[in-house]
């Protein structure tokens, strides 16, 4: 075996002592970084002529997350659903429309670190679903307030497939 000096002289790289390359001791647990974003789940239940969408948001972050205010059972003012059939065609929205002023922080409520918030929304009367039984998938786009930029940022949740008969 050649001495390290002669290898180092010929090699174009720097040798690192092997003690620095050793794996960490088995008793040292890795440090887990805190979550950086809001966790959300959307579930769709279609039965009895109704489509009920349940959205659940959890805040695993170490800071407050600001979500759009809306009441259980009511359609949010600025959040949007996009409903598509298996063929990829979008189901037309036929609900009320309104012009909105720009968002302010007052349009949002604080979801504290560690808290969970859940709401149910009925959407069947707001979309022109075709006759018959069909399979769909929904995307829910919702605004969150960004304190740093002082503006709303939209995020999305996607549902599993659901079947609805009209």
Residue 31, pLDDT above cutoff 80: no
Residue 161, pLDDT above cutoff 50: yes
Those residues with Cβ within 8 angstroms of residue 66's Cβ, 6 or more apart along the chain or in another chain = 105, 108, 109, 110, 111, 144, 145, 146, 147
The pLDDT tens digits of the residues spanning 45-81 come to 999 899 999 999 999 999 999 999 887 666 677 778 8
Gyration radius (Cα) of the chain, Å: 26
Residue 156, pLDDT above cutoff 70: yes
Residue 28, pLDDT above cutoff 50: no
Mean pLDDT value across residues 148-162: 91
The pLDDT tens digits of the residues spanning 87-115 come to 999 999 998 887 778 888 898 999 999 99
Run of H or E residues at 34? none
- Specify the residue for token string 């079947």: 163
Residue 36, pLDDT above cutoff 90: no
Integer Cα distance of 51 and 159 in angstroms: 13
- All domains of the chain, ordered by start, with CATH? 39-165 (2.60.40.2970)
**pTM across the whole model:** 0.72
């Amino acid at each position: 075996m050649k001495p390290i000096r002669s290898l180092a002289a010929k090699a174009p790289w720097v040798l690192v002592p092997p003690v620095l390359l050793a794996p960490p001791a088995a008793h040292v647990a890795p440090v887990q970084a805190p979550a950086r974003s809001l966790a959300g789940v959307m579930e769709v239940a279609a039965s009895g002529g109704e489509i009920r969408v349940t959205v659940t948001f959890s805040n695993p972050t170490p800071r407050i997350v600001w979500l759009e205010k809306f009441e259980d059972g009511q359609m949010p003012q600025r959040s949007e659903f996009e409903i598509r059939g298996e063929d990829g065609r979008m189901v037309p929205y036929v609900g009320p429309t309104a012009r909105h002023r720009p968002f302010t922080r007052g349009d949002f409520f604080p979801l504290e670190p560690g808290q969970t918030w859940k709401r149910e929304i009925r959407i069947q009367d707001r979309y022109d679903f075709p006759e018959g039984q069909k399979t769909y998938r929904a995307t829910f786009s919702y605004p969150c307030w960004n304190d740093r930029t002082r503006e709303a940022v939209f995020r999305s949740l996607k549902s599993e497939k659901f079947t609805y008969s009209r």
